[in-house]
Amino acid sequence: MRKRICLLLCFLLFLSMTTTAFGQGYRRNITGEFSDIQVSVNNTPLGLFREPLVYDDEVYVPIKNLSQLLYLDTQYDEAKNTVKINTGGILEDASTRSFAANLLQRDYEINVLSRQLQQKDKAVEDRIGLPYRVINSDEEMEAYLKDYFGELHGISMNISFRNYRDSRYRLYITFPSRDREDFEGLSRRIIEEWMEDILFVVRELFDDRARIDGHMRDSSSSYRTYISFETDGDRLRFSSSYYYADDDRRRISINASKLVERLEKNLSSYNGVDFEYKVNTNRYDIDLLVYFDDKDFYDWSSSTRRNFLNRLEREVWGFDGRLDAYGKIIDSDKDEEVLRFHFMNRRVDFYDYEVRETSTASSTREIKLVEQNPVVRRNLNAWFNNIQLEIDGIPFRMLKEPFMLEDEIYMPMTDLGDALYWVYEYLPKENVLKIMDNNFHSRNSRLVGNRLLQGREQEREQLLTQIEIMQKQLERELDSSLPYRSILSVSRMESYLRDYFEIFEGIETYIRLTRSSGDNYRLRITYPIEDYAVFDGIRSSTIERWVDGMLDAIRELYDPNARISGSIRPEPLGNHDFTLITFEMERDRLTFDFEEHGNQTTTTQRVDARRLERELERYLRRYRGVNFRYEVVVNRRDVDLNITCTNDSFYRWDLYDKLEFIKEIKEEIYDLYDGITVNGRVVDTYLNDQVFRFSIEKGSIRSYDLLVDMEKHLNRHHKEFTAGGNTFSFTYRIWEKDANTFDVKLEGDFFQQESEWRNISDADGYPPEFEVFVEDALKVVADFWQVDVVGEAVDKAYSSILVKTVDY
């Protein structure tokens, strides 16, 4: 009996000990992802025999195995259920920890900035078509040109680029004499467009005032010069010395309508598909557009397409054997280009059909991707026991929980990196975990540490400078909204306008551009008669901006001295033989005649311009010490209000003064003609310059110039946020999202991970009083414009801190 009692007591004692040691632990089946992750520390590969894994979107590393290969000593204290890491005293000294923390912060910022720089680099590359990088010398520019322009249609080009005075540069290009025949076979336009692209890249990436001159030669002993060139304004002017010396032989004179007649007579259909043709003649070649509306074309084999092009080629050269042609085949139903071709040197020189990617092709690519980066998912029996962490005897609070697999403890990389002041980067596509550990540097001397910090700071500042440069570059590209293209013919310019301007306010228009004489062009715009009612309701100012944009594109990309005139009308006219809108140049500006624009039958009131001018002169001739005069131009849908001032006091008005002035104008106008739309501008008579624009539509006042003033106001009065003894600066930007909502962005000059910000932030990632600071600024915008406002605060890396909405 006594023996049984002793055994029972022993069992109970063992049970209590087990409960004490493992009472809080439990086993859980988890799914770990293994992909043979390779670990490197300071770019040195480590041969781990325990494989890291990914669980719950976190990389876990075997801490015992990792420590054996580093300077760390790691022990697991079962009694305290704690992983104890000893760094050998590296982090015990306060100054060393401060150094490591500062270095970590700089490495983090450099990582963030590097990613941001890559994103902006990609954005700029998408805009200009070539990889962006900061170029600081003509040697670097030469290397860039060799990288991206070192070959022209398979012919290697040797490029020499040198500065000889201010922004003037010499560009010498040579190609092997063995390629002379291939070079002579190229169309002159190909070469000129290639050279225009070089000028564009030099100005975009290196010197925006660059002027280049030089020549193209072959490498024979006599150095035959084929083309000489020099900068003329925004373009290159070319002269020929050898191959193109007989310029009359290259220049063509073709009757385009006769060629179209020939093609429609001899090749109106092929293999059951009907075609229509359009020919635009240039100085040295033609643009040939081939239209079809039969889906059977898509069933043609590549050999059938080739045979059709060969037949088309024979018809073109049968008309005139000297012709070089640049062609497109277009689906007229979709208005979509499906094939592009070139006829040069009496052969089909270039043939390009862009095959649309099918779902099968996509899935094949995905399968290959999986084969390159295999991920194996395994069910694991892991032990979770609320394991704690100590670094050199100091507890460290972890956000994710470690676990045990067999006799190894797996630590979350995020927490481990923070505890040891490591910077790490996990690259899943490469199956690499890169760790940067700067702690060992502190063993050397404080001087080495200071140099490291200075180096990091310099790298950080360089990245910030590059990002600022690239941001300005990107903004300039985005503000342009017109992709760059080298355009050397009216037909190409017409195609460009169709690409970027034909869809207007949801209406598909048709644009035709022809040269009248010299720098004078005729622009004819038509739209379907069934869209007449919709087009008739578009504001005249919107139409003006649309046509002004086309003029800007023509001047920027084709002819800087261009002057245009033309009309906008529905088509087909039928019995309605009238022109809605006409425009022409006066001095250097477009003027419009909107007399027939607007549906009179739906107009509820007729505006008497002279009466409205008298009322404004009567009550608002002088306002806040400034004299004004008013001119009213009446359109059917709206009113243009031109206001001239003769006192520079207007320049000193703040945004509230300007708003009150517009409100007074609105009140006087609406007393006579309630609800009409007003497009207003203030002009300084002495400077003959427009100084302020605004509009009144459906009772709401809008003005881009007032938006700019509001940004300046916020940047002056709501720029700084102070908390915990630290001051943080913000820059404001405002956009009109729609008629009733504005977007405001607050850009902070700091990183969220900086200690000054983290020390005053709560669980939401920002100080409690920061929300009040943002709300106060947004209320200023909401009250001023009487709209709802959505604001977002971001840090220097454009990471979102707070999103706040203020309803009016």
Query: What's the pLDDT tens digit per position in 536-560?
Result: 878 777 888 899 889 988 887 788 8
- Per-residue pLDDT band at 353 (split at 50, 70, 90): very low
**What is 603-702's CATH topology?**
GMP Synthetase; Chain A, domain 3 (3.30.300)
Sheet hosting strand 336-344, strand order edge to edge:
276-281, 286-292, 325-331, 336-344, 347-352
**Beta-bridge mates of residue 39:** 46, 433
Q: Tell me the residue type at 785.
A: W
CA distance 731 to 488: 43
More confident residue, 420 or 471: 420
- Per-residue pLDDT band at 720 (split at 50, 70, 90): very high
Summarize pLDDT for 410-454 with one digit per residue, the tens. Answer: 999 988 988 887 778 888 888 889 887 766 554 443 444 455 566
What are the two backbone dihedrals, phi and then psi, of residue 278, each rounded to the nearest 5 degrees?
A: -140, 135
Q: How high is the pLDDT of residue 233?
A: 72
Summarize pLDDT for 130-143 with one digit per residue, the tens. Answer: 666 768 888 999 99
Summarize pLDDT for 672-687 with one digit per residue, the tens. Answer: 888 888 888 888 766 6
Q: Which residues contact 20 (CB under 8 A, 6 or more apart)?
A: none
Q: Which residues contact 741 (CB under 8 A, 6 or more apart)?
A: 787, 788, 789, 790
Summarize pLDDT for 596-636 with one digit per residue, the tens. Answer: 676 433 344 578 888 899 999 888 888 888 888 899 888 76
CA distance 805 to 792: 9
Sheet hosting strand 726-738, strand order edge to edge:
720-723, 726-738, 741-748, 788-794, 800-806
Q: What percent of the chain lies above the pLDDT cut of 90? A: 16
Residue 276: pLDDT over 90: yes
> Domain boundaries in the chain?
20-94+373-439, 490-601, 603-702, 708-806
- Per-residue pLDDT band at 243 (split at 50, 70, 90): very low
Q: How high is the pLDDT of residue 130?
A: 64
Tokens of 202: 């030099």
Query: For residue 125, how many other CB atoms are within 10 A of its CB?
Result: 13
Q: Is the separation of the CB atoms in 553 and 482 below 8 Å?
A: yes
Highest average pLDDT, of 258-262, 304-308, 623-627, comes from 258-262
Residue 73: pLDDT over 80: yes
- Per-residue pLDDT band at 717 (split at 50, 70, 90): very high
Q: How high is the pLDDT of residue 714?
A: 93
DSSP label at residue 130: S
Largest Cα separation within the chain, whole Å, is 126
Q: How high is the pLDDT of residue 84?
A: 92
Which whole-number Å values give the CA distances from 416 to 244, 307, 390, 598, in the listed order? 70, 67, 11, 70
Summarize pLDDT for 750-773 with one digit per residue, the tens. Answer: 888 788 898 888 888 899 899 999
Q: Do domains 490-601 and 603-702 have the same CATH topology?
A: no
Q: How high is the pLDDT of residue 122?
A: 64
Q: How high is the pLDDT of residue 772?
A: 93
Tokens of 319: 């008309």
Residue 6: pLDDT over 60: no
CA distance 558 to 513: 12
Q: How high is the pLDDT of residue 358?
A: 30
Which helix H or strand E contains 326, and what residues bound it? strand 325-331
Q: Does domain 708-806 fall into CATH 3.30.300?
A: yes
Least confident of 24-33, 343-352, 354-363, 683-692: 354-363
Q: Does domain 490-601 fall into CATH 1.25.40?
A: no
User: Taking Cα atoms as reference points, which of 115, 63, 107 lies closest to residue 85?
Assistant: 63
To the nearest whole number, what is the mean pLDDT of the chain? 78
| Tokens 């943002």 -> residue | 774
- Per-residue pLDDT band at 725 (split at 50, 70, 90): confident
